[in-house]
Amino acid sequence: MIVRIREFLPLAAWLSTYSKSDWRGDWPAGLTVGVILIPQGMAYAMIAGLPVVYGLYAALVPQIVYGFLGTSRHLAVGPVAMDSLLVAAGLTGIAVAGTGQYIALALLLALMMGLLQLAMGMLQLGFMVNFLSRPVINGFTSAAALIIGLNQLPHMLGVSSDRSNQLHILLAGFWDVLPETHVSTLAVGLIATVALMAMKRWTPRVPAALAVVVASIVVSWGMGFQSLGISVVGVIPKGLPSFSVPSWNVNDVQTLLPIALTLSLVAFMEAISIAKSIEERHDYLVDANQELRALGLANILGSLFQSYPTTGGFSRTAVTEQTGG
């Protein structure tokens, strides 16, 4: 019975051995990732065609659920660029981005995706990961990082460009809007990038991402970035997401099923490739079947609190590891 509990609730295995040394690594890592997740989540919600507040909602419940159920000690679950692109690509032809119908479909998509992942985990389909070779995982990771970076580039340039998960479309769109670059926005982005790289090299013990985010908030407040033409997030709705079951009907389920199946597989492969790459450098094993169950329940319960599809994130997982989490 103890073995079964530890299989389905990994928390039971590591909580009893949790020490002060673990805490000394976890608190700066958690604080840094939490601060990073605020602007990241809002940006990814924009990529998905949703109001920015839904990026914050997606950063809450799924992350907590995975913390109890996941077998990776470093994987940071929440909204990610790749899944946000797939959400936008799947829903754009069905509803107008940002509308009530669009939001309702995104929440239903998270619920369906979670149910499919949970079912795959219960059916022990995690063996699929055994067919992933190391070159495939490295290639997927590199390609995803490239696509994510190019999708964020328009924000750094202060221009508008179509989102896509196809490299040639991204490059063509980038080339078209390059002459419209907003110099002040680009300057802020470059300074932040150089600061991150410099701190990582010369002050590795300082949480660089946290320091840059806090500093940029202070400078934005002091200089009035908005008056300089630099976009700021502005006011977002207050309070925590309320509990509600996503509205649905048979037609919506039939329409979203192919998108949900695609998302469930891509999100799992994304998360497990990250978890496996981190696992190699640390003394623990990742259980693919339990990862499916954990990600599935994270999306199911997340959808009940207004979260759109989530999975493990590349950059936040790397930050967790680098800051000692």
Where do the structural domains in the chain lie, given as residue ranges?
Answer: 22-182+242-322
pTM over 0.85: no
pLDDT, one tens digit per residue, over 14-26 is 666 777 777 777 8
User: pLDDT averaged over consecutive 10-residue blocks of the chain (325 residues)?
Assistant: 56 70 79 83 86 92 90 88 84 85 94 94 82 69 72 81 73 83 90 89 78 86 86 80 90 93 88 83 82 94 95 83 77
pLDDT, one tens digit per residue, over 228-274 is 888 887 777 788 888 999 988 999 999 999 999 988 988 898 888 88
Tokens of 20: 């002060």
CA-to-CA separations, 248 to 88, 107, 111, in angstroms, rounded: 19, 10, 10
